[in-house]
Structure 1
Amino acid sequence: MAAANYLTSEDQFLCSICLDVFTDPVSTSCGHNFCKTCITEHWDRKHKIHELVPLKEEYEGRSAGKTQAETQQMIQKKRLKIEEIKQSVDLSKEEADREVAEGVQVFTALKESAERGQANLINTIKEKQKTIENQAEDFIKELEQEISELEKRSSEVEQQSFSSGRFYFEVQVKGKTEWDLGVARESINRKEEIPLSPEEGYWSIWLRDGNEYRASDDPPVLLSLKSQPQKVGVFVDYEEGLVSFYDVDAAALIYSFTGCSFNGKLYPYFSPCDNDGGKNSATLIISPVRVN
């Protein structure tokens, strides 16, 4: 619709004598426009002005008018606009034709595919589902194997005892809200519930309520940590009487017991604590002990 409006407006710039777009336009004293050549020739032939203008107004005297530079500029702009609109219409038509052609191709391809392979589509879906199930089964087997190995390692660590030298092990505590870990004497009291302290044969640290860390010294020491450890390293130097705990990822010391008197075999000590309604269900993962 916009293109039609622009095209009809071109009539305003047609000479009423030659019926073409103005060439070297001039204006008469009454305000009408003509080609300079057209109006001059008609004046020379002594035509009456009211025969040339649409309103058939009468004028006295002869006037060759004056050149309208602004009118020429407007005419040129209108011509350019007309060409622009024509080009825009052509481009729109080409785009529409192309989209129609592409749409027909897609529709045809889909129709042919549907007619040719409905049973193939079902088989493809079933094959993909089977592949997913097989991958899941393989992944579960890998996890079960890893769990078995971790349980074996944990058992080995728990059964390992030391009575000299240095040893070190790591415990992953990621996802836990409560835990205890450290080392304990072989001679600890296992029949009664006793406080964890060096006097009772425990050198350990523990977590409660997700963010409260303490060392089981006498009295217990509240620990202020910059970040929550995801893996804790435990180092023991038997002869030096030293037990140190480290944040493995941050390579930072958490706490050290010094001047310890071990008097007998030491065993790694762990407690995952209560499940707490699933909030503390993560597993303590223990790495093998390394002995120096």
Structure 2
Amino acid sequence: YYSFSRYFLECEILFAITVSIRLECIIMFIDLRMIRDAQFNNLRQNAVDVTLDPDTAHPALILSNDGKQVHCGDERKKLPDRSKRFEPAINVLGTQGFSCGRLYYDVQVKGKTVWTLGVAKGSVNRKGEIKLNPENGYWTICLRNRNEYFALAAHPVPLSVNDPPEKVRVFVDYEEGLVSFYDVNAAVLLYSYTGQTFNEKLYPFFRPGTSDSGTNTAPLIITPFKQQRLD
């Protein structure tokens, strides 16, 4: 006959195995999290200083005096019609370009309903209708309609984003042909463009979006850096 003592013994063994498996899963999760955090933190040595280039800014954009913030105003300013200036696209580039190495910069996007961030070739078309994709010299991701995130590849790629990022990291490895985007606070990769070919200077790219009936007035803010400055 099947004894109760044997039954309880088997239950205890099964319980012990279950606990052991759960502990192994927890340890594995912690190890993976530590590896991910270490890889993310290793990027910090590649931080660069970025400021906005007013000569490239659309006339409706309002830049802060220190060149670290930008939002779209309700009126166009009267500005010189430079070849560098974006129009009618409401964009602005960073002043500093780069053509080698690894680097990143962080941008606060908190409180915005629309934005586009990334990098662009220095030779991109600044006038007329502009389609943002790698073929045209743009590597970007964007937020649309408050909660829709896309990578603007040849065909827009929907991004799975659980919690809206408040700060986005744009990371470039020039030699590897890599452009990656991270949620800084969550230390989560949002998207990567891989296997790209860069043959000229790249510049930080910003599109803060229009005011969206007053719901998108928060600026894009380039956050402080702690490493070298771009040439």
TM-score with structure 2 setting the length: 0.59
- Contact kept? 1:167, 1:291, Cα under 8 Å: no
Go from structure 1 to structure 2 and tell me whether the alpha carbon gap of 1:283 and 1:153 turns closer, same or farther (over 3 Å shift).
closer
Q: 1:234 aligns with which of 167, 170, 188?
A: 170
Question: Alpha-carbon deviation of 1:256?
Answer: 0.2
In the alignment, structure 1 segments of 5+ residues that lack a partner are 1-146
Q: Which runs of 4+ in 1 moved over 6 A?
A: none
Aligned-partner residue type, residue 277 of structure 1 = S
Q: Secondary structure at the match of 2:94?
A: helix
The residue number in structure 1 matching 2:99 is 163
Question: Alpha-carbon deviation of 1:263?
Answer: 1.3
TM-score with structure 1 setting the length: 0.47
- Contact kept? 1:166, 1:291, Cα under 8 Å: no
% identical aligned pairs? 58
Which structure: larger Rg? 1
With a CA cutoff of 8 Å and minimum separation of 6, indicate the structure with the bigger relative contact order: 2
The residue number in structure 2 matching 1:152 is 67
The residue number in structure 1 matching 2:119 is 183
The residue number in structure 1 matching 2:190 is 254
Give the 5 Å matches for 1:21-40. Answer: none
Question: Alpha-carbon deviation of 1:221?
Answer: 0.2
Q: Distance in 1 between matches of 2:159 and 2:193?
A: 13
Question: Alpha-carbon deviation of 1:287?
Answer: 2.4
Q: Secondary structure at the match of 2:180?
A: strand
1:207 aligns with 2:143: yes
Question: Alpha-carbon deviation of 1:154?
Answer: 5.2
Aligned-partner residue type, residue 164 of structure 1 = C
Give the 5 Å matches for 1:50-129. Answer: none
The size of the alignment, in residue pairs, is: 144
- Contact kept? 1:229, 1:248, Cα under 8 Å: yes
Query: Higher helix share goes to which structure?
Result: 1
Deviations, residues 213-262 of structure 1 (Å, cap 9, x unaligned): 00011111000111110000010000000000000000000000001112
Q: Distance in 1 between matches of 2:109 and 2:182?
A: 12
